[in-house]
Structure 1
């Protein structure tokens, strides 16, 4: 596929395969998706987005552990024509703007199946966060761990950093393990991950794995000082380094591919900080 555009084109085959009576749920937050559906699907399109546009939209307020947003249904009983869109306030037990996007897409799918706005609001409020997917816990010492260790790729790492930057109340600490299956671009993408991590101004950036040096190089190139960047092959050493700088109110993001087993850093931090 070669490029993101190539991947998007391949995904567009899903739209092309829909029959004329099918409904396509379209994410307006992604210009590629919006363009593809206009080109490839001529049936019913139910549009969603977090900018408040589309048939189902949201205006949101996010934190590390939760998202509170207004869900706007403009496809209910001619609401688009009358200007009388139905609105529901949602308390989603999942942090991060990307989870708000996911929730809005789920709401649009539910609307296409005939669920009411009240049904959808109740369902989203009762959602249970999966383990190690932006799972937030606070240690006895007041340090907040953002355990996003289930998996990682460059896009999800960027989303996790955005969650940290937008929702953390205190200082940031970032721990990144190997992002696997990146092929010939692995070194370049890990270097970019280091630059992205530097953008949230962490008090400490820890990198582990084959491309940890590339992460460190990117962070230093982006302006972090070398004494705030740690490359290590030991989960325990990383946890001890974090414990050497953390203080109550800090937020520690832990991210990595499944094969990197970065939850071991979380386990060590629990031991040091008091679970």
Structure 2
């Protein structure tokens, strides 16, 4: 990032201090516990905190200018020449600044949303685009009304493409992000059950995901196998990807292995260094986008080989006694949990397959039923299912009710679960750890890794 303080005077004309001086801003500071030289301090006001109280720390940590909510008194400790820009709302001002900077750098903008798979798809898109463009992408979970502007403002002025993940838990949030980023291309990976308690139904979730079109300049690429998106696919500015023959980009799986997948899209062969049927569809979205941008098959394949997947997405660890641990505990919904269980069922490198599944949050009144539905993905290829939490008990009970001879048990404490898992680890064992982020099941790894 590189901005001159004087540029901010056009956006925020109510200011004090040496705002017209040659002062460069190279980063945004929202956390005054971290050193950030030449930064713009943006004090965010949240439900339970107000960062305006940390102005002294911001200056000490390297801030050279600040945004400031105009109805709050400015501390006397602020130097008279320190540039301060007074705004009605610092979060909205951050969004306004991000949009200004995005337009200034003017990269190709790709927005990615969906109930499941949006982070992996974002990583795929970034890897493929990087074969042709200087590419910037969302890091971690910076995909909301604060994280997305910070992602944009962390972009180098030399960026030629930016891939922005767009998350939501309420209606209107994707619309805000889309209108801010004005994507040239958009991808909707799928419609699942995440945050369904805030939308009432999958239909409500689909409507909210389609908000990504509100600021869209070009084509929207979406799941052609999803019935709830069929009306949207009638729009001439949409491209469908799926396993069904009616899709614009038809994916066909040729071989699924533990570490890789061979498949075709519109009869063109590709190789993906990832497992899972759902990742093939994610790859199809990327192929459709890449072709729109003039990236040839060789470039697409080279990008697939260079994918850097975000943390806690099917993250593999060597466990005790030669076992394999798979940490997919970043988040979970019934759809994503079923998809990753399917990968475990298909693994050939380990013969004993154990599922450690925790609660999935924000599923509303149908939470118990939706948890129980996960059992649909469990068959005789799974040896044991251990659940932890509250509603996850419905999973183990539903599996037991299938009478397939699968060992099941429910735990209420991580220590007890960890101790039990340790006792069954062998060289032939693979353990999947999957739950919503709030369960923090990755903590189990501390006792299980080699």
How high is the TM-score relative to the length of structure 1?
0.79
Q: CA deviation at 1:54?
A: 4.1
Deviations 1:98-145 (A, max 9, x none): 112111111212222222222211111211122211123343633222
Offset at residue 175 of structure 1 (A) = 0.3
Deviation at 1:197, TM superposition (A): 5.6
2:445 to 251, 255, 266: 266
In structure 2, relative to structure 1, the CA distance for the partners of 1:66 and 1:260 (3 Å cut) is same
The structure with higher relative contact order (CA 8 Å, sep 6+) is: 1
Q: Once the 2 structures are TM-superposed, how far is the Cα of residue 55 of structure 1 from its aligned partner?
A: 4.2
Give, in whole Å, the separation in 1 of the partners of 2:256 and 2:316: 13
| C-alpha distance 244-26 of structure 1, shift in aligned 2 (>3 A) | same
1:183 CA drift (Å): 1.8
The alpha-carbon distance between structure 1 residues 213 and 224, as it changes in their structure 2 partners (threshold 3 A), is: farther
Tell me how far apart the structure 2 counterparts of residues 181 and 29 of structure 1 sit (CA, whole Å). Answer: 25
In the alignment, the residues of structure 1 paired with residue 326 and residue 435 of structure 2 have an alpha-carbon distance, to the nearest angstrom, of 12
1:2 is the counterpart of 2:172: no
Distance 1:66 1:53, change over 3 A: farther
* 1:240 Cα deviation from its structure 2 partner: 2.6
For the Cα contact (< 8 Å) 1:23–1:112, is it kept in 2? no
* Residue pair 2:379, 2:404 contacting (<8 A) in 1 also: no
What is the alpha-carbon distance in structure 1 between the residues aligned to residue 229 and residue 259 of structure 2? 28
Counterpart for residue 232 of structure 1: 411
Per-residue CA deviation, residues 211-244 of structure 1 (Å, 9 max, x unaligned), is: 243233222222256x822222232322332233
CA–CA distance in structure 2, aligned partners of residues 178 and 192 of structure 1: 13
TM-score by length of 2: 0.50
How many Å separate the matches in 1 of 2:446 and 2:244?
38
C-alpha distance in structure 2 between counterparts of 1:187 and 1:5, whole Å: 20
Distance 1:88 1:157, change over 3 A: same
Between structures 1 and 2, the one with greater helix share: 1
| 1:211 maps to which of 372, 391, 410 | 391
Identify the match of residue 176 of structure 1 among 354, 357, 362: 357
**Aligned length in residues:** 250
1:59 to 246, 252, 260: 252
Structure 1, unmatched stretches of 5+, are: 73-84
Which sections of structure 2, spanning at least 5 residues, go unmatched?
1-198
Greater than 6 Å deviation, 4+ residue runs = none
What SS is found at the alignment partner of 1:48?
strand
| Change beyond 3 A, Cα 1:45–1:180 | closer
Decide whether the 8 Å contact of 1:175 with 1:206 is kept in 2.
Answer: yes
Within a 5 Å distance, the mapping from 1:32-43 to structure 2 comes to 32-38=228-234, 41=235, 43=236
Aligned alpha-carbon RMSD (Å):
2.7
User: What displacement does 1:174 show?
Assistant: 0.5
Separation of aligned partners in 1, 2:246 and 2:420: 45
